[in-house]
Amino acid sequence: MRRSTTTALGLSALTVIALTGCSSSTEPAGTSAASSAPVHRGGGAPWASAPLSSAELNQRLLNESDLGGGYSRKPETARRNDDVTVIGCPALEKLGSDAATGSGLDFTRKAKESFTYTGSSNSEVSEELYSDSPAKLSKGIGKVFDAMLSCPTYQVTSGSTVLDMGTEKTSAPDLGDEQWSQLLTYSAAGQRSVVKQTAIRTGNILVIVSGAPGLVDAHLDKALAKARTAR
């Protein structure tokens, strides 16, 4: 079975969460599942013209004061040398072989921040912002979600770690111009966890929030509102 290195957004974000064990939701994968093809809306915001710079995007990321008590910024970890490899999903294998070296989507204007939350258990939520033309954003994120959702089950390896993966659509909130959402279930070393990933395009900005499902749902609205705020 062919293997190939992948740097797709969803896999890179998920693998980091899985390998660090920061998301510990025990919510079953079937929860909240529903058909959620991206919804297209006309126009986009009138301010959405030239792409924002990465510095501007950084200013629009959520911070601890936006999230509330119990959240702390997660230090950026050094890049792992292990290749992330997909087994059993041709669409993701193809996407990986076409992707540029690195992580995240192939947009030059981007910013990212991750947080840990200490409540009943330690969980993680991360936010990514991208800016480009609406058409390029739509095509880029749609390609990744379509590839991931094409395979209900597959495996991801990183070094000696093997993750058994499950992916399914889930309903996305009626926000922005286009929406995508999915639940990703991974099992490794006898533990099973769920990560939710929701992407919203509003004009020339793409907002992606990933992590424990409850945290994604709790902070998606404020992430979108801050991303759209002109400064």
In whole angstroms, what is the distance from residue 58 CA to residue 168 CA?
Answer: 30
H-only helix segments in 24-132: 54-59, 64-67, 90-98
Mean pLDDT estimate for the chain: 76
Q: Residue 27: pLDDT band by 50, 70, 90 thresholds?
A: very low
Name the token pair of 86.
């997909």
- What range does the domain containing 91 cover? 4-227
Which residue type sits at 106? D
At 218 the pLDDT is: 94
Instruction: Look at 226 and 188; give whichever has higher pLDDT.
Output: 226
- Under a CB-based contact definition with an 8 Å cutoff, are residues 151 and 93 in contact? no
Q: Tell me: the pLDDT tens digits for 196-228?
A: 999 999 999 999 999 999 999 999 999 999 999
At 163 the pLDDT is: 87
At 63 the pLDDT is: 95
What mean pLDDT comes out for the span 135-139? 93
Instruction: Look at 94 and 13; give whichever has higher pLDDT.
Output: 94
Q: Other C-beta atoms within 10 Å of 172: how many?
A: 21
At 81 the pLDDT is: 53
In whole angstroms, what is the distance from residue 155 CA to residue 162 CA?
Answer: 7
At 37 the pLDDT is: 42
Percentage of residues in the chain having pLDDT higher than 70: 69
Q: For the domain that residue 220 is a member of, what is the CATH number?
A: 3.40.1000.70
Domain count, the chain: 1
